[in-house]
Amino acid sequence: MTVHIGAEKGDYAETVLLPGDPYRAKWAAETFLQDVRQVNDVRGMLGFTGTWKGNPVSIQGSGMGMPSLSIYVNELIRDFDAKTLIRIGSCGGMQPSVKVRDVIIAMTATTVASPSSTILREVNYAPCADWSLLRAAVDAAEARGSKPHVGGIYSSDTFYDERPDLNEQMVRHGVLGVEMEAAELYTLAARHGRRALAVLTVSDHLQTGEALPSDQRERSFGDMVEIALEAAFT
């Protein structure tokens, strides 16, 4: 049991999927896992453990932004020995070739600042995904008939961003999409010798203004969850 996770050792699997929204964690666990049990509800940040094709899996909400995700990932690694951590979440598309409902598999995650910036100081560290997970996720997506976008994303530390010039530079440099957590996840995984990946569904687009209605988001997010699960156990 930790400050933010009210579970006992053994309640979490070594593989953990991390949606930001705790209710999306509940939906994913009830939809894709068998023998599901809730293992955390501290501060309403729900966590569940079950099995997928006989493999133990946990799904834990991580909240919004890198500071929140950093709390849960640190505790999952330090106190529950999580070894494979995959973010499953939404993102905003940034390139014209990226469409709403598309899947992005993040190879790298650029950021202005993260909770790890105070440790890294003047170093411009380049957070990246675990190669074995990334390759397995691409294979899983293609096996489903999907054509995922693979490349760099931008992890912003602000949701209501008032820096259109910064977004323009992200687009100019080929960044596929923007979200708020992956850069810190990749950095923590590297620090502790764990595997990490972000598999994202494009829910809106910064250039076109198109957005998925809320009632269509869960249906579109199903592919992302299954890709993540296949990647974890390939």
89 annotated to bind ligand: yes
pLDDT band at 63 (very low <50, low <70, confident <90, very high): very high
d(CA 217, CA 215): 6
Q: What does the domain layout of the chain look like in residue ranges?
A: 15-232
Contact 195, 132 (CB under 8 A): yes
- Residue range 188-223, pLDDT digits in tens: 999 999 999 999 999 999 989 999 887 677 667 999
Query: For residue 18, what is the enclosing H or E element?
Result: strand 15-18
| Interior angle at CA 108, CA 107 and CA 110, nearest 5 | 155
The per-residue pLDDT for range 152-196, each reduced to its tens digit, is: 999 999 999 888 899 999 999 999 999 999 999 999 999 999 999
Residue carrying the six token digits 């834990």: 60
Please identify which of the residues 130, 204, 215, 223 carries the catalytic annotation. 204
Q: Is 191 annotated as a binding residue?
A: no
pLDDT (mean) for 74-98 = 97
- Best CA proximity match to 127, nearest among 143, 146, 113, 107: 107
Q: What percent of the chain shows pLDDT beyond 90? A: 89
pTM: 0.96
pLDDT score recorded for residue 220: 72
| Amino acid type, 50 | G
Distance CA 226, CA 193 (A): 25
> According to the annotation, is 181 in a ligand binding site?
yes
Pairing of strands 15-18, 84-93: parallel
Is 35 an active-site residue? no
Please indicate if the annotation marks 5 as binding a ligand. Answer: no
Judge whether 203 is annotated as a binding position.
yes
pLDDT of the residue at 218: 67
Q: Is 4 annotated as a binding residue?
A: yes
Fold exhibited by the domain 15-232: Rossmann fold (3.40.50)
Q: Are 103 and 141 in contact (CB under 8 A)?
A: yes
